[in-house]
Amino acid sequence: MAVDKTKNEPRIDADEVLGGIVEWVSIESPSHDAKSVNRVVDHVEGQFRDLGLKLDRTPGVDGFGDILECKTPWGEGKGILVLAHLDTVHPIGMIEKELKVRREGDSIFGPGIYDMKAGGYMAYYALRHLIRQGKKTKLPVTFLFIPEEEVGSPTSRARIEEAARGHKYALVMEPGRDGDKVVTSRKGVGRFTLTVRGKAAHAGVRHQDGRSAILEMAKQILRIEDKTDYARGITCNVGLIKGGSGVNVTPAECSVEVDLRVPNMALAEEMTHWFLGLEPIGHEVTLAVEGGMNRPPYQKDAGIADLFGKAQAIYREIGKELADVPLTGGGSDGNFTAALGIPTLDGLGADGKGAHAIDEQIYYSSLVPRTYLCARLLETLE
């Protein structure tokens, strides 16, 4: 791919991009470890300071890391919001065990390298690539680095939505998909907690006096899982369960946490109403349900289609065709911006596979074209 023949000079150096990515990946940063996340924030803050951007760092709350905002000193009016998160799902120590940073052919492995430190660094490199050439973007650009996206952005959502309202476009540096594909729509994400309370009793002597919370919850789980409907795009997953106090005690309490995915707001409202309306199936037990939609559905509209068309035209400059994923089940902070009507293009990061897994990896071959795409979007959007 002859990037050096395009008008975007000097050329993007894949090894330089990879080196920067590895620096970010080498600082492990699980979501609930604020100190570790902030070590990455420190590193990123220093890099953007060296570019001359205006920095605003908001201290973390509720045990999470800091939010970092970096703004170009040029441009007026509504501009481009670039979203990335610096937290990962991998615990400290993975980099010394299952996910050592290493290269095997086209694949480079590491904790959070695909989801999504590669994409975050590539956005930084893209702006630096323009600045090196003495260029300025036509629109002001704001980079917003989030510390807890992997757990739903509970402390960052309001900041993301506030920033989005002041921008014309949102570019989300989540990982690319299945080759030359980006994301133009995502399912909405709901989270619900169910708690059943029954009555404890001696499991051998007075079993008949007990009311099993686990038995009731088992019935509720079957009811919930049965609501999965692939034809309608609904998935319900009971992912966590806790209950009981001893094997010889009728369990007095049981709780579960449920993940819901839906493709549109109508189904989000329907399923939320259904969950919150659940009642006990058995006798003399109580059921409490809490929760709601964590991320609204992100649907491809005319503004998103137009932004995607601009990206396709850029990709053709390097002789490649860009496609979009019709609808992905994973949520991102792009759900928030798209729900506000801001044209949002997601999945702009490196291609690869194994998000959240012990084989998480990016493809070296994707670094130059994906960074080029980001740089040219920053350069040409107006």
Q: Are residues 15 and 100 in the same domain?
A: yes
Q: Are residues 311 and 180 in the same domain?
A: yes
Q: Are residues 45 and 81 in the same domain?
A: yes
Q: Are residues 139 and 217 in the same domain?
A: no
Helices (H), 136-197: 157-165
**DSSP H or E run through 235:** strand 235-243
Residue 149 main-chain phi, psi, to 5 deg: -65, -35
Asked which of 294, 328, 358 is the last residue of a domain, the reply is: 294
In whole angstroms, give the CA distance from residue 144 to residue 154.
15
Question: In the chain, how many domains are there?
Answer: 2
Q: Are residues 273 and 302 in the same domain?
A: no
Q: Are residues 87 and 142 in the same domain?
A: yes
Can you give the pTM of this predicted structure? 0.91
In whole angstroms, give the CA distance from residue 125 to residue 128.
5
Tokens describing residue 12 = 């993007």
**pLDDT of the residue at 1:** 38
Contacts of 92 by beta carbon, 8 Å cutoff, 6+ apart: 28, 30, 33, 36
Q: Are residues 14 and 123 in the same domain?
A: yes
Asked which of 251, 274, 294 is the last residue of a domain, the reply is: 294
| Sequential pLDDT tens for the chain (382 residues) | 344 444 445 789 999 999 999 999 999 999 999 999 999 999 999 999 999 999 999 999 999 999 999 999 998 899 999 999 999 999 999 999 999 999 999 999 999 999 999 999 999 999 999 999 999 999 999 999 999 999 999 999 999 999 999 999 999 999 998 889 999 999 999 999 999 999 999 999 999 999 999 999 999 999 999 999 999 999 999 999 999 999 999 999 999 999 999 999 999 999 999 999 999 999 999 999 999 999 999 999 999 999 999 999 999 999 999 999 988 888 999 999 999 999 999 999 999 999 999 999 999 999 999 999 999 999 999 9
143 and 82 in contact (C-beta within 8 Å)?
A: yes
Give me the CATH number covering residue 217. Answer: 3.30.70.360
Q: Are residues 214 and 169 in the same domain?
A: no
Q: Are residues 16 and 91 in the same domain?
A: yes
Q: Are residues 201 and 313 in the same domain?
A: no
Q: Are residues 340 and 222 in the same domain?
A: no
Domain holding 242, by residue range, is: 188-294
Contacts of 35 by beta carbon, 8 Å cutoff, 6+ apart: none
Give me the CATH number covering residue 46. Answer: 3.40.630.10
229 and 263 in contact (C-beta within 8 Å)?
A: no
Asked which of 294, 325, 357 is the last residue of a domain, the reply is: 294
Q: Are residues 138 and 100 in the same domain?
A: yes
